[in-house]
Amino acid sequence: MRKSTILSLSFFCLLFLSSSLLSSNSMDSTYSIISDKQEKGKFKPDEDYPVQRHGFFFDRNQDGAVYPWETYQGLRALGAGVLLSAASTIFINIGSSQRTRPGKFPSLLFPLELRNVALAKHGSDTEVYDEKGRFNEEKFENIFRDYARTHSDALTASELREMRRGHKKPKDYFGWVSSWIEWTLTHHLFKDEHGLLKKDTVKGIYYGTAFEEKEKELKEKRKTSAKKKASI
């Protein structure tokens, strides 16, 4: 590995860790970010392109760019552990940042620009998002028609693996890894008590609404738990 690459990765890791530590104390007070009451001048995702709203959950300050510490905060807000959030963040931001910044010089802060987030679309995916980031209803329905055999409205872990294999493109190594990370993380965070990933939940993830609902649910659980401890 070249010296410049090592220095870049070292800088990123130090920046990421320091930013995460500084911001972690304020995570519980993070407000719901998908709202009609956004401040003037803040980025607002285009409703015609659900992929923007999907990514907007992680834009914790609503400036239109998702930095590594924001990806980390978003994953933690969804219930992912520290190591899982950190590893996923590094892969997501380093792997996709520059593709969302066409014509710009690479940034060592590795932001994802939401206006161009559709450009981060990788191969070997479900094609539910088209090339512009629009939602394709037919492709979405095909997922459950072709792979949901145990339950018509949900996917098991083994059915998810079969679905990923069914969408693999030859020699698309980055796409294979990206798909594996995305769906493994999705199943881990959003499966129900029976280990099933429900159809409505998956659709909510594509539109970004499931993220906000999950964050709200976990906040309520923490509040309830805190009240119980205080009453003991």
User: How confident is the prediction for the chain on average, in pLDDT?
Assistant: 87
What is the mean pLDDT of the segment spanning 182-198? 98
pLDDT digits (tens, 9 = 90+) for 50-104: 999 999 999 999 999 999 999 999 999 999 999 999 999 999 999 999 999 999 9
What are residue 171's DSSP bridge partners?
A: none
Q: How confident is the model at residue 35 (pLDDT cuts 50, 70, 90)?
A: very low
Q: How confident is the model at residue 41 (pLDDT cuts 50, 70, 90)?
A: low
Res 196: pLDDT = 98
Q: What is the CA radius of gyration of the chain?
A: 18
Query: Dihedral of CA 157/164/90/30: which sign?
Result: negative
CA distance 41 to 229: 41
On the question of pLDDT at 154 being above 50, the answer is yes
Res 51: pLDDT = 98
Q: Name the pTM for this structure.
A: 0.81
CA distance 163 to 100: 27
Q: Which residue's entry shows tokens 């998702």?
A: 66
Res 79: pLDDT = 98
Query: Dihedral of CA 118/74/196/199: which sign?
Result: negative
What is the mean pLDDT of the segment spanning 33-41? 45
What is the mean pLDDT of the segment spanning 164-171? 97
On the question of pLDDT at 224 being above 60, the answer is yes
pLDDT digits (tens, 9 = 90+) for 123-147: 999 999 999 999 999 999 999 999 9
CA distance 131 to 127: 8
Q: How confident is the model at residue 40 (pLDDT cuts 50, 70, 90)?
A: low
Res 231: pLDDT = 79
Q: How confident is the model at residue 226 (pLDDT cuts 50, 70, 90)?
A: confident
The amino acid at 6: I
CA distance 77 to 211: 9
Residue 201 has which token pair?
Answer: 């939940």
**What are the extents of the domains in the chain?**
41-222
Q: What are phi and psi of 112, to 5 degrees?
A: -110, 120
Q: Which residue's entry shows tokens 């959030």?
A: 85
CA distances from 172 to 8, 132, 178, 184 (A): 26, 20, 10, 18
On the question of pLDDT at 160 being above 50, the answer is yes
